[in-house]
Amino acid sequence: MKKILIIIFLFCAVFNVAYASNTAEDILLKKQIAQMLIVGFNGSTLTQNNQIYSDIKELGIGGVILFSRNADKTQTKLTKNIQNFNQLKKLNEDLQNISEIPLFISIDQEGGFVSRLSPSYFVVSTYNAGFLGQKNDLKFTRAEAEKTAKTLSRLGININFAPVVDLDLNKNSKIISGLKRSYSDNPKIVSAHAKEVIEAHNKYGIITTLKHFPGHGSAQGDTHQGFVDITNTHTKEEILPYKTLINEKIAKGVMISHLYNKNIDEKYPASMSYNFVTKKLLKELNYNGLIFTDDIQMNAIRNNYTFAETLEKSIMAGCDVIVIGNNLFNDEQVAKNAVEIIFNLVKNGVIPKERIAFSYDKIIKAKEELKKIENTNRED
């Protein structure tokens, strides 16, 4: 009887150790997955009742994206994040203070129409890319970019989803040409001005993202609204700004669009395509920086793929950071659901653990580099 009890005791001890080990591994895996998410939220102050509080403190998401207005027409009473300088700086400080790992705090501050920071309250460039490209004065572009980058740095924002390196090819495009978001139809001019913007932001420790890979300038439609096929419009020249800036070793981020081109991938748009992200961007262009998806709640994705399929294919394509704006469509549980879905995909062998660890390591290294630059600037 005594021997039986000893055997049972040893079995339970081994089982408990194995269980604890698996639990620890699962906790670590979920933390790694959460770091791959940038999520939008509502509210201009941080309270424990705000969902983003638990998304950061409990889930450990990698970052947030800030908006100045609510674009979800079904929930008009929701308020977003930006009011004035002191309010936004305080909000960002509060967000960082509850995060175990430093947050990516991101924004779309291109200048011109796509600007979340109003010049009425913030010292930022008011010029759009179209004006800067037409003026074609690189020193002027650099000075304007530094004005914006300095303000972003003072606010605690460390990612700017800019510059746009789309070529101004389709003059009827409402989302690119119509909003003057492109510097030029000449890839050399686009590359030159984008380089000034990137270097100005690098100086202040802010990651920029070349967008919208592989190029939205020739597209007929808008991925915010629905499916966009560039099979018959996309040109080889649209890749040139990416190639140039990647070769110069200054690009730290690239944003992948939801554009579809059956010549590259017959089934999936760029953001969900291994052929686009890994084969073309990582291998062909030899890019090794962070890869961000465009907002996966855009109708080009949301109307055509399930949330689980989008997450799976984006990660397996090679994307490091999944952007969920929570602005075009609000879902308070989206971060929690995303972590659970990806976790189960890993546990079921659909996504390798090594794939998650690879992006996690890139994200942590990028954040460590940002911290070094922040400390250097503080000493100055």
Which residues are known catalytic residues?
Answer: 224, 294
Cα 20-24-30 angle, rounded to 5 deg: 145
Report how far apart, in Å, the C-alpha atoms of 211 and of each of 93, 142, 230 are.
28, 19, 16
Length of the chain: 380
307 φψ region: left (φ > 0), alpha (ψ -120 to 50), beta (else): alpha
Neighbour count for residue 106 (Cβ, 10 Å): 25
Is the preceding peptide bond at 201 cis, omega within 30 degrees of 0? no
33 in helix, strand or coil? helix
- Which two structure tokens, joined as six digits, stand for 116? 């979340």
Which residues make Cβ contacts (< 8 Å) with residue 131, sequence separation at least 6? 112, 180
Say which DSSP state 14 is in. Answer: H
Nearest-10 Cα torsion for 90, 202, 108, 370: -50
Own/partner pairs, 175-178, CB within 8 angstroms, 24+ separation: 175/216, 175/219, 175/222, 175/224, 176/216, 176/217, 176/219, 177/130, 177/217
